[in-house]
Amino acid sequence: MQIPYEVTARPDTGLYNAKLGIWLFLASEVMLFGGLFSAYVFLRMGADDGYWPHGLLNVPVGTFNTAVLIISSVTIVLAWASLKMRRWSQYKLYLGITIACGLLFLVVKLGYEYPQKFQHFGAFIQKDKWAKYEAYLGNEHLKKEGLPPRPEITGHLEAVEIEGEQETVEAFARENDLVVESAKESKEPALVVHNKEEEKGVSPRIAEHLVALDGVKLLSFEVKLDQVNADPDNRDNDRPHFIPPALSNKTAKIEAEDVDSWSAFFPKHSSYFSVYFTITGLHGLHVLGGVIVMTYFFFFGEKLYRRNPEHMANRIEVCGLFWHFVDLVWIFVFPIFYLL
């Protein structure tokens, strides 16, 4: 049985079936992402002064991914226009570029941007201990400037100092390519755990597993500081940078008893990263879904095109509408998370 209005438009709506369906689907997507963006706004408004991070994301990477998605929005339109003009080889070229842009976006996000966050370290200092770490927080300077306080010290985790049974710690160290040494400046018998290759430091995730071992007590962290903590009184560090500053050569020792919470930049790090990973992760799944559908039409669409080229053009138009929505979501993600 032939389903009516698969290709031609309905007289009452002016839309063929698939186009009407995609618009209804996109309406539900607007409600989904609208709720998530609203949650971000309310969480930010309710956050204590200084506890909502800014300037932590890599703006050039976000800018690059924005350009990639904008280019892909253009090429999907050109692919649809090529089908309307019955130019199959040109359609394949433009759709191939669109698929390549989608894959490039995912590679940059999952292969470069996310892993950097999973290796970066942050420790929120207890409010009554801020004065002790003033050299790294610079809150007196921020107060004079009328800016919110800085409660967190961030950087590259170089080593952790612990108490525990040496055999247990050394067994864990061997499994994770770490080195265990006796602490030289500690009053109590303690162990310092660091990486065999000094430039790699200790992964925050590995540090979490280490301190979760039975009988192990965390004493302190050794952190190679970000510029903002290495020179907190520098006015240039009071604002985000388009090009992220390199790590400093300054190292700080942070006592574990002075810390409220610590982790890599995982979702549990803060409400900011919880919403960031939720929205960008969901957006990434939409990009992947779009790439899969377009790849199917790239390799298996010729049969439909030979039978009914207008039907094929309609399918690519529907893909394009979904892809434009995915790009539009990113246009909101980029300024909200990367620039503000």
Q: Are residues 110 and 220 in the same domain?
A: no
Q: Which of 298, 286, 295 is nearest to 324 (CA)?
A: 286
Residues 182 and 113 in one domain: no
Question: Is there a domain that residue 322 lies in?
Answer: yes
**52 and 128 in a common domain:** no
- The pLDDT of residue 135: 95
Characterize the bridge pairing of strands 259-264 and 178-182: unpaired
Identify whether 36 is part of a domain: yes
How far is the C-alpha of 3 from the C-alpha of 41, rounded, in Å?
A: 45
How far apart are alpha carbons 112 and 300 in whole angstroms? 32
Asked if the structure places residue 26 within a domain, the reply is: yes
Number of domains composing the chain: 2
pLDDT for the residue numbered 246: 85
Residues 54 and 112 in one domain: yes
CA distance 340 to 328: 18
Instruction: For residue 296, tell me if it sits in a domain.
Output: yes
Residues 137 and 227 in one domain: yes
Domain that holds residue 38: 17-119+272-339
- The reply to whether 224 and 317 lie within a common domain is no
**10 within some domain:** no
Pair (114, 126) in one structural domain? no
Verify that 143 and 255 share a domain, yes or no. yes
Find the DSSP H helices in the chain.
17-46, 59-84, 88-108, 114-119, 134-137, 139-144, 166-175, 204-211, 227-230, 271-300, 302-307, 309-333
**Pairing label, strands 178-182, 251-255:** unpaired
Which residue ranges in the chain fall short of pLDDT 50? Answer: 1
Per DSSP, 124 falls in state E
Q: Residue 33 has what pLDDT?
A: 96
The whole-angstrom separation of Cα 18 and Cα 9 is 10
Q: Is residue 8 part of a domain?
A: no
Say if 230 falls within a structural domain.
Answer: yes
Domain at 319, CATH number: 1.20.120.80
Co-location of 74 and 151 in the same domain: no
Indicate whether 129 and 248 sit together in one domain. yes
Within this chain, do residues 136 and 248 fall inside the same structural domain, yes or no?
yes
- Shared-domain flag, residues 194 and 323: no
267 within some domain:
no
